[in-house]
Structures are given as C-alpha cells and as structure tokens.
A and B are shown apart, each in its own frame.
Chain A
C-alpha cells in the first residue's frame, strides 16, 4: 500500500511569499495519478492539480505542480490571502487501494 507523507505539517508564510509544499510517496507513483486539493475551513475540498502538473478548471496560474516517482511538489508562486488553507495530495488509479490521501499541510498566515 502506498503511503503519502506531506511536509511540512504547517507552513507559516506572509501574503506575497512563495509556498512550496511536498508530498512524498512510499513507492513510485505514476505522475499521471497524483492530484492536489485545497480545503478551507467549513468547506469541501477543491481540486487544484491533477496528473501532477495540470491545473484544474478555474485555478489561477500562481498554483503549479511538479514531480515524479516518489517526490511531488505544489508551489504557490505569490500567496494571496485566500490561499491560506489546508492542502492534500492524493494518489489515484487502478492499483488497490485506488485512492490514498496525504495527511495534509496547513498553510497559515505568518
């Protein structure tokens, strides 16, 4: 079973700064099977990135994803106030278990 480990657990930054969030897999993950979600308090998760690097519909281009194998990264180039939230990576695909989430990274205002 693939385990996704996100780091850091909490990231404290200021608006305008660059955020780099990590997702490390215990086994190699196809880059076509890695997604990122954003969740704000009291809201459902929202898809940001799929296929490791493709932005979902309506997602601003300050959000970008990269990586392959066991190491994946979500980068927010210049933080806006609305970007402070919890971010989850997800492995998806046909191998069981089909879906695995990382434990999340909380991005908080410094």
Chain B
C-alpha cells in the first residue's frame, strides 16, 4: 500500500525557516517524480514545487521561487521542502504527492495527509 507521511510543520515567525519532510512507503520511491502542494485554511489547492525522479528537473511556483528549495534523498525514500524567508501568506497545509510518472509531469495519484505550517509572530 502506497503511503506518504509528511512531517516538520509547526508555528514559525515571519522571516524564519522551516524544513518539511515526506517519507514514502509501499512503492519504488526513486522511480517517480514527487511534488508539494499547499492549501491555505479554507482555500483551494496551490501547486508549490516538483522534482523528477533523479532530481534532474525541478520547478517552482512563482510565489515561492527563490525562497523554497525542493530536494529528495532516494536512499532514504524521502522528499524535502526547505522553506526560507517565510511569510504570513505561506500559512497552509502542505501535502506531498506522488506523480504517476518518473520523468514527465503527470497527475498526482497518491497524496499524504498533510502537515500544517503557520507563519505568525
């Protein structure tokens, strides 16, 4: 059974940093692209960032470019999101999601349960 488990969320002050992790289970982690998607409380879904199976291709939403860094450690079956210079508008549930494919960009066939990041002083 495919499982994605996020961790690392919490309350952080504006301007500070936070690192999210996502552990993957039940599938060949290093064969698939992975993604981060966020959802502000009571709002819709917003794509944040994507990384190919071998980290050879990475992309970000304009809203986080230059502040967030996606990475992965295939040996640990883990995906990460380093979030710097956090703003109040970054407050959201952050979901990791598995791509249907490894090297191209398809739909998200599995999602984690999310971790809440709250940016507030």
Q: Does A66 contact B (CB under 8 A)?
A: no
- SS class of chain A's interface: helix, strand, loop or mixed? loop
Chain B interfacial residues counted at CB < 8 A: 23
Mask: chain B, 21-45; 1 = CB below 8 Å from A; 0 = not = 0000000000000010100000011
Q: Which of B81-118 contact A (CB under 8 A)?
A: 95, 100, 104-114
Nearest CB of B to A75, in Å: 19
Residues of B near A99 (CB, < 8 A) are 35, 37, 47, 50, 105
Query: Are A45 and B45 touching (Cβ within 8 A)?
Result: yes
Query: Are A44 and B113 touching (Cβ within 8 A)?
Result: yes
Q: Does B11 contact A (CB under 8 A)?
A: no
Q: How far does the alpha carbon of A90 sit from the alpha carbon of B62 in the complex, in Å?
A: 17
Query: Are B107 and A35 touching (Cβ within 8 A)?
Result: yes
Nearest A residue to B110 via CB reads A47
Mask: chain A, 85-103; 1 = CB below 8 Å from B; 0 = not = 0001010111011111111
Q: How far does the alpha carbon of A9 sit from the alpha carbon of B45 in the complex, in Å?
A: 15
Nearest CB of A to B65, in Å: 11
Nearest A residue to B61 via CB reads A97
Q: How far does the alpha carbon of A35 sit from the alpha carbon of B107 in the complex, in Å?
A: 7
Q: List 13 A-B contacts (CB under 8 A).
A: A35-B108, A39-B45, A44-B111, A44-B114, A45-B108, A50-B107, A92-B105, A92-B107, A94-B104, A94-B105, A98-B59, A99-B35, A104-B45
Of all A-B residue pairs in the complex, the 7 with the closest CB atoms, nearest first, are A99-B47, A44-B111, A35-B107, A101-B45, A50-B107, A104-B44, A98-B105
Residues of A within 8 A of B (CB): 35, 37, 39, 43-47, 50, 56, 88, 90, 92-94, 96-104
